[in-house]
Amino acid sequence: MMKKQTDRLLAIWFIVTIFVLALAFLFSPAGKFSELENRYLQSAPKLTWDNLISKRFAEEAETYVTDHFPLRGQWVWVKSLSEQLRLQQENNGIYKGKDGYLFEKFAKPDPALLAQYTAAVKAFATANPGVDLTFLLAPTSIGLYPDKLPWKAPHDGQDRVNEAVGEQLQGLANLTYMNGFNVLKPHASENIFYRTDHHWTTLGAYYAYEAYAKQMGWTPHPLPSYTVKTVSDSFLGSYHTRGQFSLVKPDLLQVFLPNKPVATSMYVADTDTTTNSLYDESYLAKKDKYSYFLGGVHALLTLTSDIPPGDVDLDKLLVIKDSYAHSVLPFLAQHAKEIHVIDMRYYNGSISQYMKDNGISHALLLFNTATFAENNEILKLGK
């Protein structure tokens, strides 16, 4: 008798809990951005015939429910705590490695998909024979420091991916491929990657700028010509937000200020606003401190620099990029009078037409290996 009552009470408790969670899910306002995970959340899926046939609606609906589940942040924290109590070195796809480094899992992409992406780049170069195009593919920290991963942690080498991309991009006179491993490996012992975030540090960005400048025939400004300023000593980046590992030492966020500064204005087409700085100090008080550079992600930017006539290396440059470019652009702004910046994740126009309309004959594609291998937005180059 007692067992039946207990079972009945458990059943009632379970039903009430599900009912309360369902009400909370239905009536809670849907957020757009997760400060905890430092990413945009899935928006409500659109019910269309094409979405149903392609199964996209079901996939987006599942992600939407997961992203907006009541008390999601608390559940993520509880899961992380339980994993650490079990001495797990991985949580939510993030490894806790040596020397304070956190790493994101990287799986070798489908060769057919990778071939599609490189074919899109080649087709873009072929369709714009008058454009001098450079593609710089930078590894993430797991690519350069696999020796710092936990013992027996499975991983696929990013170096092989970068080599495959280089091999597939051969054969076009107006397309130059720069393997980021060649750029960064000589500086591997330096602090070129954040330990808690997926980006390179400003020093890593400087070495990428230096290599690109030399490839373009410019004279890069030497390191001593900059004053290094630490703008935050409490940066816990995207890997920390996802892994939620405790006792992690924050990173330093630094900016390299040229001793001979060049005034640069930034026009954000998304919001039709212009600022006179490439840095947004408001982000230093937020979780997403990397957005201090350029004020975060925008679909389309134009940077205009007041460079003395004798110091101008290029009138116009187009940078097609992911967020790795954000800390590189202030360096490039000392050489090019006008830099147009497109993020393909949010820009949906024809880039070929944009270059024609704006008289652009030089372009830089700058991506990290993980973004390039996992994001099909590169296919928009064909528009």
More confident residue, 117 or 2: 117
Based on the domain organization, do 271 and 313 belong to the same domain? yes
More confident residue, 244 or 198: 198
Q: How confident is the model at residue 7 (pLDDT cuts 50, 70, 90)?
A: low
CB-CB contact of 155 with 142 (8 Å): yes
pLDDT digit string, tens, across residues 63-118: 665 655 555 555 555 555 555 555 567 888 899 999 999 999 999 899 999 999 99
Based on the domain organization, do 208 and 357 belong to the same domain? yes
Q: How confident is the model at residue 13 (pLDDT cuts 50, 70, 90)?
A: low
End-to-end CA gap in the chain = 71
Based on the domain organization, do 120 and 241 belong to the same domain? yes
Residue 55: CB atoms within 10 A of its CB come to 9
Residue 104: which residues within 8 A CB-CB, separation 6 or more? 93, 94, 95, 140, 142, 198, 239, 242, 370
What per-residue confidence (pLDDT) applies to 21? 45
What per-residue confidence (pLDDT) applies to 90? 84
Does residue 125 fall inside a structural domain? Answer: yes
The answer on pLDDT for 338 being more than 70 is yes
Based on the domain organization, do 349 and 261 belong to the same domain? yes
Q: Write out the two tokens for 380.
A: 């928009």
Based on the domain organization, do 63 and 194 belong to the same domain? no
Based on the domain organization, do 53 and 153 belong to the same domain? no
Number of structural domains, the chain? 3
pLDDT (average), residues 297-326: 96
Does residue 99 fall inside a structural domain? Answer: yes
The answer on pLDDT for 51 being more than 90 is no
What per-residue confidence (pLDDT) applies to 244? 82
pLDDT (average), residues 309-323: 96
Cα distance between residue 281 and residue 291, in whole Å: 9
The dihedral sign for the CA sequence 275, 326, 194, 89: positive
Cα distance between residue 230 and residue 245, in whole Å: 24
CB-CB contact of 321 with 343 (8 Å): yes
Q: What percentage of the chain exceeds 70 in pLDDT? A: 77
Q: Quick one: three-class SS letters along the chain? A: CHHHHHHHHHHHHHHHHHHHHHHHHHHCCCCCEECCCCEECCCCCCCCHHHHHCCHHHHHHHHHHHHCCCCHHHHHHHHHHHHHHCCCCEECCEEECHHHCEEECCCCCCHHHHHHHHHHHHHHHHHCCCCEEEEEEECCHHHHCHHHCCCCCCCCCHHHHHHHHHHHCCCCCCEEEEEHHHHHHHHCCCCCECCCCCCECHHHHHHHHHHHHHHHCCCCCCHHHEEEEEEEEEECCHHHHHHCCCCCCCEEEEEEEECCCCCEEEEECCCCEEECCCECHHHHHCCCHHHHECCCCCCEEEEEECCCHHHCCEEEEEEEECHHHHHCHHHHCCCEEEEEEEECCCCCCCHHHHHHHHCCCEEEEEEEHHHHHHCHHHHHHHC
Based on the domain organization, do 7 and 41 belong to the same domain? no
Q: How confident is the model at residue 376 (pLDDT cuts 50, 70, 90)?
A: confident
Based on the domain organization, do 216 and 206 belong to the same domain? yes
Q: Are strands 314-321 and 300-305 parallel, antiparallel or unpaired?
A: unpaired
What per-residue confidence (pLDDT) applies to 38? 46
Does residue 85 fall inside a structural domain? Answer: no
What per-residue confidence (pLDDT) applies to 245? 86
What per-residue confidence (pLDDT) applies to 57? 61
pLDDT (average), residues 137-143: 98
Based on the domain organization, do 130 and 254 belong to the same domain? yes
What per-residue confidence (pLDDT) applies to 34? 53
The answer on pLDDT for 262 being more than 50 is yes
Lowest mean pLDDT among 43-52, 125-134, 143-152, 166-175: 43-52
- The rounded radius of gyration (Å) of the Cα atoms in the chain is 23
Residue 274: CB atoms within 10 A of its CB come to 11
Q: How confident is the model at residue 123 (pLDDT cuts 50, 70, 90)?
A: very high
Q: How confident is the model at residue 312 (pLDDT cuts 50, 70, 90)?
A: very high
Does residue 378 fall inside a structural domain? Answer: yes
Based on the domain organization, do 122 and 17 belong to the same domain? no
Domain interval for residue 220: 94-382
Q: Write out the two tokens for 44.
A: 């409500």
Question: Phi and psi at residue 289, in whole multiples of 5°?
Answer: -70, -25
Based on the domain organization, do 237 and 358 belong to the same domain? yes
Cα distance between residue 171 and residue 164, in whole Å: 14
Lowest mean pLDDT among 191-205, 214-228, 367-381: 367-381
Does residue 87 fall inside a structural domain? Answer: no
Residue for token digits 């809990």?
17
Based on the domain organization, do 45 and 135 belong to the same domain? no
pLDDT (average), residues 160-179: 97
For all residues of the chain together, what is the average pLDDT? 87
Does residue 338 fall inside a structural domain? Answer: yes
pLDDT (average), residues 112-136: 96
Does residue 89 fall inside a structural domain? Answer: no
Does residue 76 fall inside a structural domain? Answer: no
